Amino acid sequence: MARPTLQLHPRKEPAVAHPAATLLLLRDGALGVEVLMTRRSPNASFLPGAYVFPGGRVDADDHQTHTLARAPDAGGRYRTAALAALRETFEELGILLAVQADGRPITRTHLQALDRSRALYPQLQAQGWSLAVDQARMLACWTTDRSVPKRFDTVFFAALMPDQQEPVADEMEQFEPVWVRPQDALAQHQAGNFFMIFPTIRTLHWLSAFEQAGQALAACTEDEPLWNSTPRGGLVGGQPQRFMEQDLPYAELALVCPSGQLEHALDWQHERPVPLLRHLHRLTAPNASVMTGPGTNSYIVGDAASGYIVIDPGPLLNDHIERLLAFTAGQITAIVCTHSHADHSPAARPLAQACARLTGRTPPVLGLASAATARSTAAFAPDRALADGERLMLHDGEHHSTLRVVHTPGHAANHLCLILEEDGLLFSGDHILSGSTTIIDPPDGDMSAYLDSLDRLAQACEEDGIEFILPAHGHVIGWAAQSIAQLKAHRLRREAKVLAAMRAVPQGSLDDWLPLAYDDTPAALWPLARRSLAAHVQRIEQLAML
């Protein structure tokens, strides 16, 4: 965990999230699945005027009425929330998922015996009816952003619209019930005519993948959510935008704004360094491409009092070098290259020389020399080779910052990573990337060495309590150990596909195996994938010789 004193936005206790529940009522329309939505009162204290699914808070009666559920075990630990979702749907829209004592569903005529202004549960008990909790399928759990003062922990359920019932809004909390295709709701929202909040939007995106209501319900479960999310917000183009845990910017927001503060700009910035912590900045070089994503991330560790260590100064771009120099005022104590590829190391020597001209002191260029197997464009010789486990130190008079070197061959023979020990951060170079997998290009790249290095990094994450990975391309990566495990599993799954392709075409070549092993990858990327395919084939052949 990053040290609290070095965080830009200190941690604070978020507001308590109140238990709540909501229900997606589905039906098959002429053009596909439709969902019932309503507009909240413009005077509501929470989300005035928003289009939502019916629902509300879980109250005390919901905890005490499990005997009114037709299937008492349905819903598991979410049974109380399911009861609340069904109750709220009746109170707001007059729709009730319930059955008579003999198990037959209630109809519109039966509903006339109920008074929506009175408590539902005593009326059900008097009629001998039970709530059809087993008809409500578990969909998801959403918890309101940490930064919002009024928060809810809401369970989303889905069910088929009961026959012979029609929605009638209570005209107090809910207005204008409407059946809408998810795609149409999303289009209207985009046009500014159908205000919805992020969880509703994402849920509709999920629902839009199904052609029929039954298909959507079949994808749900009885008692486990398909996802459990507490979104985080950042600024994109100066406007707030929210993200789920699987979205690439999420982990960066968790590092920079741990309590959900809506402060961090996510736009890729090439003109000036972006602060991640008080002693950590990222300046992204303007060399965006298919290979480099938004550009190469140069990380600047330290401050004016401690001096700076620059990690991966990037390609030979004078403007980028000048920006690194201006931000640090030339007070750089070391320049570290994670490896010698052309988008990482060429700026090292010019940056060191610029520091010398400005301050009279030349910072050493550190790393590992390129191996004989490296391409001519990746030639690199440091002033001093870094030893595996070596530590580079900074001290500002109050805080120590220690960067530990971890040799990680695989992407390149001279690749290394760095661990900022006090803050549990891993600078991964090209070994681990955000949103993509790195290319392993023999002979300098080696798949077995790459997988072994992943194992080393996984062990370091466990031993050093590493939460976040800072890659050379893309946003900060979270859940470090889990991300590494998933990356290794992906590589091994790919290797299994390569092996299957080799067995299917035993006399084939890389070009024969490529469309089989990478059939899930756009053909435009196959020339790049061919390099990693060669690394997988090399590893498979090596293992076969053991």
- Closest to 14 in 3D by CA, of 201, 233, 226, 241: 233
pLDDT on residue 65: 73
pLDDT on residue 75: 54
* Structure tokens, 471: 């890659």
**Whether the predicted model's global pTM rises above the 0.85 cut:** yes
pLDDT on residue 49: 86
- Closest to 35 in 3D by CA, of 244, 166, 185: 185
Prior bond of 346 cis (ω within 30°): no
User: CB-based contacts of 522: which residues, under 8 Å, 6+ apart?
Assistant: none
pLDDT on residue 172: 78
- The residues with which 307 forms a beta bridge, in sequence order, are 303
CATH assignment of 270-480, among 3.40.50.2300, 1.10.10.10, 3.10.20.30, 3.60.15.10: 3.60.15.10
pLDDT on residue 371: 95
CB 408 within 8 A of CB 432: no
- Measure CA of the first residue to CA of the last residue in the chain; give whole Å: 42
Strand 55-57 and strand 98-99: the pairing is unpaired
pLDDT along the chain (546 residues), means of 10: 91 92 97 95 80 93 74 69 94 93 88 91 92 93 92 96 90 86 96 94 97 96 91 95 96 96 94 97 96 96 97 97 98 98 97 97 97 93 98 94 98 98 98 95 97 98 96 97 97 97 96 96 94 97 86
Q: What is the domain partition of the chain in residue ranges?
A: 17-230, 232-267, 270-480, 493-545
- The arrangement of strands across the sheet holding 468-471 comes to 391-395, 400-407, 416-420, 425-429, 468-471
In this structure, what are the phi and psi dihedrals at residue 204, rounded to the nearest 5 degrees?
-65, -35
CA distances to 190, 237, 238, 254 from 241, rounded to whole Å, are 14, 9, 9, 14
CB 165 within 8 A of CB 95: yes
* Structure tokens, 23: 């229900």
pLDDT on residue 205: 97
- Closest to 202 in 3D by CA, of 168, 265, 250: 250
Residue bearing tokens 């005077």: 43
- Closest to 347 in 3D by CA, of 381, 315, 311: 315
What is the topology classification, in CATH, of domain 17-230? Nucleoside Triphosphate Pyrophosphohydrolase (3.90.79)
CB 178 within 8 A of CB 28: no
HSE-up of residue 485 (Cα within 13 Å, Cβ side): 8
